[in-house]
Amino acid sequence: MKNVGVYRLPMQGPDDVSELKKLIEENVIAAEDIVAIVAQTEGDGYARGYANLNFELLLSEKLGMTREQVTEKIPMLMIGLTGGLMSPHYTVFTRQDVEAVETDEKRLAIGIAKTRVLKPEEYGTKTHVMLVAEAVKEAMKDAEIEDIEDVHLVEVKCPNLTAARVADAESRGQKVVSKNFAEAGAKSKGASALGVAVALGEVSADAITDAVICQDWSLYSTKASTSAGNEQVASKVVLLGNSKKAVSPFTIASGVMKDTIDVQEAVKTFESLGLSFEQGALDTLSQDRVAAVFINAGADASGSIRNRRTTLKSDFLAGYQGIVAKAVINAIVGAMIQDTMILASAGFEHQGPLGANLLAVIAEVE
Amino acid sequence: MKNVGVYRLPMQGPDDVSELKKLIEENVIAAEDIVAIVAQTEGDGYARGYANLNFELLLSEKLGMTREQVTEKIPMLMIGLTGGLMSPHYTVFTRQDVEAVETDEKRLAIGIAKTRVLKPEEYGTKTHVMLVAEAVKEAMKDAEIEDIEDVHLVEVKCPNLTAARVADAESRGQKVVSKNFAEAGAKSKGASALGVAVALGEVSADAITDAVICQDWSLYSTKASTSAGNEQVASKVVLLGNSKKAVSPFTIASGVMKDTIDVQEAVKTFESLGLSFEQGALDTLSQDRVAAVFINAGADASGSIRNRRTTLKSDFLAGYQGIVAKAVINAIVGAMIQDTMILASAGFEHQGPLGANLLAVIAEVE
Amino acid sequence: MKNVGVYRLPMQGPDDVSELKKLIEENVIAAEDIVAIVAQTEGDGYARGYANLNFELLLSEKLGMTREQVTEKIPMLMIGLTGGLMSPHYTVFTRQDVEAVETDEKRLAIGIAKTRVLKPEEYGTKTHVMLVAEAVKEAMKDAEIEDIEDVHLVEVKCPNLTAARVADAESRGQKVVSKNFAEAGAKSKGASALGVAVALGEVSADAITDAVICQDWSLYSTKASTSAGNEQVASKVVLLGNSKKAVSPFTIASGVMKDTIDVQEAVKTFESLGLSFEQGALDTLSQDRVAAVFINAGADASGSIRNRRTTLKSDFLAGYQGIVAKAVINAIVGAMIQDTMILASAGFEHQGPLGANLLAVIAEVE
Amino acid sequence: MKNVGVYRLPMQGPDDVSELKKLIEENVIAAEDIVAIVAQTEGDGYARGYANLNFELLLSEKLGMTREQVTEKIPMLMIGLTGGLMSPHYTVFTRQDVEAVETDEKRLAIGIAKTRVLKPEEYGTKTHVMLVAEAVKEAMKDAEIEDIEDVHLVEVKCPNLTAARVADAESRGQKVVSKNFAEAGAKSKGASALGVAVALGEVSADAITDAVICQDWSLYSTKASTSAGNEQVASKVVLLGNSKKAVSPFTIASGVMKDTIDVQEAVKTFESLGLSFEQGALDTLSQDRVAAVFINAGADASGSIRNRRTTLKSDFLAGYQGIVAKAVINAIVGAMIQDTMILASAGFEHQGPLGANLLAVIAEVE
* pLDDT tens digit sequence for D73-86: 999 999 999 999 99
Burial class (CB in 10 A: 0-12, 13-18, 19+), D173: exposed
Alpha-carbon distances of C102 from C16, C98, C141, C147, C245, rounded to whole Å: 39, 11, 17, 16, 6
Q: Count contacts between B and D (CB, < 8 Å).
A: 7
Q: What pLDDT was estimated at residue D298?
A: 80
Q: What is the pLDDT of residues D141-159, one digit of tens each?
A: 999 999 999 999 999 999 9
Mean pLDDT of all residues in chain B?
A: 95
Calculate mean pLDDT across residues C255-269: 97
Report how far residue C232's alpha carbon sits from residue B52's, in angstroms, rounded to the nearest whole number.
Answer: 23
Identical fold between A2-97 and A249-364: yes
Q: What is the pLDDT of residues A211-265, one digit of tens each?
A: 999 999 999 999 999 999 888 999 999 999 999 999 999 999 999 999 999 999 9
Q: What pLDDT was estimated at residue A316?
A: 79
* CA B158 to chain CA mean position, Å: 12
Residue type, B134: E
Q: Count contacts between A and D (CB, < 8 Å).
A: 49
Q: What pLDDT was estimated at residue C175?
A: 96
Q: Are strands A290-297 and A343-346 parallel, antiparallel or unpaired?
A: parallel
- Tell whether the model's pLDDT for residue D95 goes beyond 90: yes
Mean pLDDT of all residues in chain A?
A: 95
Query: Would you list which residues of chain A are within 8 Å, Cβ to Cβ, of chain C?
Result: 44, 316, 318-320
Q: List CB contacts (< 8 A) between B338 and chain A.
A: 261, 306
- Put simply, the answer to whether B317 touches A10 (Cβ < 8 Å) is no
* CA D94 to chain CA mean position, Å: 16
Residues in chain B, total: 366
Per-residue b/e over C180-199, b at no fewer than 16 CB within 10 Å?
A: ebeebbbbbbbbbbbbbbbb
> Are residues C341 and C331 in contact, defined by beta-carbon separation less than 8 angstroms?
no
Taking alpha carbons only, the member of D326, D311, D331 closest to residue C85 is D311
Interface test with B, best of A332, A333, A338, A339 (most B CBs within 10 A): A332
- Put simply, the answer to whether B88 touches A264 (Cβ < 8 Å) is no
Report how far residue B324's alpha carbon sits from residue B318's, in angstroms, rounded to the nearest whole number.
Answer: 9
- Tell whether the model's pLDDT for residue C194 goes beyond 90: yes
Q: Which helix (H) or strand (E) holds B78?
A: strand B76-79
Chain D adjacent subunits, 3+ CB pairs under 8 A: A, B, C
With bands split at pLDDT 50, 70 and 90, how would you rate the model's confidence at A300? low
Q: What pLDDT was estimated at residue B173?
A: 97
Q: Are strands C343-346 and C357-364 parallel, antiparallel or unpaired?
A: unpaired
- Tell whether the model's pLDDT for residue A179 goes beyond 70: yes
Q: Which helix (H) or strand (E) holds C114?
A: strand C107-114
Instruction: Determine how many CB atoms are found less than 10 A away from the CB of residue C355.
Output: 20
Q: What is the pLDDT of residues D192-212, one digit of tens each?
A: 999 999 999 999 999 999 999
Q: What pLDDT was estimated at residue D301?
A: 61
The 3-state DSSP class for residue C210 equals: helix
Q: What is the pLDDT of residues D315-329, one digit of tens each?
A: 878 888 889 999 999
| Catalytic residue ranges of B | 157, 227
The 3-state DSSP class for residue B172 equals: coil
* CA B90 to chain CA mean position, Å: 12
- Tell whether the model's pLDDT for residue C137 goes beyond 90: yes
Those residues with Cβ within 8 angstroms of residue B191's Cβ, 6 or more apart along the chain or in another chain: B123, B124, B125, B126, B128, B129, B132, B158, B213
> Are residues B275 and B282 in contact, defined by beta-carbon separation less than 8 angstroms?
yes
> Are residues A354 and A301 in contact, defined by beta-carbon separation less than 8 angstroms?
yes
Nearest chain D Cα distance for residue B319, angstroms: 5
> Are residues C249 and C4 in contact, defined by beta-carbon separation less than 8 angstroms?
no
* CA A362 to chain CA mean position, Å: 13
Would the ipTM clear 0.90, i.e. be above it? yes
Q: What pLDDT was estimated at residue B123?
A: 98
- Among B165-169, B315-319, D254-258, the minimum mean pLDDT is found in B315-319
> Are residues B222 and B202 in contact, defined by beta-carbon separation less than 8 angstroms?
yes
Q: What pLDDT was estimated at residue D185?
A: 95
Sheet containing strand B357-364, edge to edge, reads B250-257, B357-364, B290-297, B343-346
Active site residue A227: yes
Residue A304 pairs in a beta bridge with: A309
The 3-state DSSP class for residue A205 equals: helix
Which of A309, A317, A332 lies nearest to residue B10, judging by beta carbons?
Answer: A309
Q: What pLDDT was estimated at residue A348?
A: 86
Tell me which of D357 and A314 has the higher pLDDT: D357
Number of Cα atoms under 13 Å in the Cβ half of residue D99: 0
Superfamily of domain C249-364: Cyanuric acid hydrolase/Barbituras, RU C (3.30.1330.160)
Tell me, yes or no, if the pTM score tops 0.90. Answer: yes
> Are residues D131 and D116 in contact, defined by beta-carbon separation less than 8 angstroms?
yes
Report how far residue B333's alpha carbon sits from residue B292's, in angstroms, rounded to the nearest whole number.
Answer: 12
Those residues with Cβ within 8 angstroms of residue A61's Cβ, 6 or more apart along the chain or in another chain: none
| CATH of the structural domain A107-240, one choice from 3.55.50.30, 3.30.1330.180, 3.40.50.300, 3.20.20.70 | 3.30.1330.180
Report how far residue B131's alpha carbon sits from residue B118's, in angstroms, rounded to the nearest whole number.
Answer: 9
Q: List CB contacts (< 8 A) between D53 and chain A.
A: 15, 50, 53-54
Nearest residue on chain A to B279, alpha-carbon basis: A264
With bands split at pLDDT 50, 70 and 90, how would you rate the model's confidence at A119? very high
Query: Would you list which residues of chain B are within 8 Å, Cβ to Cβ, of chain C?
Result: 13-15, 42-47, 49-50, 53-54, 316
Calculate mean pLDDT across residues D266-288: 98
Report how far residue B280's alpha carbon sits from residue A358's, in angstroms, rounded to the nearest whole number.
Answer: 17
- Tell whether the model's pLDDT for residue A299 goes beyond 70: no
The 3-state DSSP class for residue B150 equals: helix
Domain ranges of chain C: 2-97, 107-240, 249-364
With bands split at pLDDT 50, 70 and 90, how would you rate the model's confidence at B314? confident
Q: What is the DSSP string of A98-147?
A: ------S--EEEEEEEEPPPPPGGGTTSHHHHHHHHHHHHHHHHHHT---
Q: What pLDDT was estimated at residue D299?
A: 63
Those residues with Cβ within 8 angstroms of residue C74's Cβ, 6 or more apart along the chain or in another chain: C34, C35, C36, C37, C59
> Are residues B233 and B142 in contact, defined by beta-carbon separation less than 8 angstroms?
no
Q: What pLDDT was estimated at residue C301?
A: 61
Q: List CB contacts (< 8 A) between D8 and chain C.
A: none
Superfamily of domain A2-97: Cyanuric acid hydrolase/Barbiturase, RU A (3.30.1330.170)
Q: What is the pLDDT of residues C223-242, one digit of tens each?
A: 999 999 888 999 999 999 99
Tell me what percent of the residues of chain D surpass a pLDDT of 90.
89
> Are residues D32 and D69 in contact, defined by beta-carbon separation less than 8 angstroms?
no
Interface test with B, best of D42, D316, D317 (most B CBs within 10 A): D316
Report how far residue A238's alpha carbon sits from residue A257's, in angstroms, rounded to the nearest whole number.
Answer: 22
Calculate mean pLDDT across residues D42-46: 89
Active site residue C223: no
Calculate mean pLDDT across residues C209-222: 97
Task: Tell me phi and psi for residue A15, to 5 degrees.
Answer: -100, 10
* CA A342 to chain CA mean position, Å: 12
Calculate mean pLDDT across residues B150-163: 96
Tell me what percent of the residues of chain B surpass a pLDDT of 90.
89
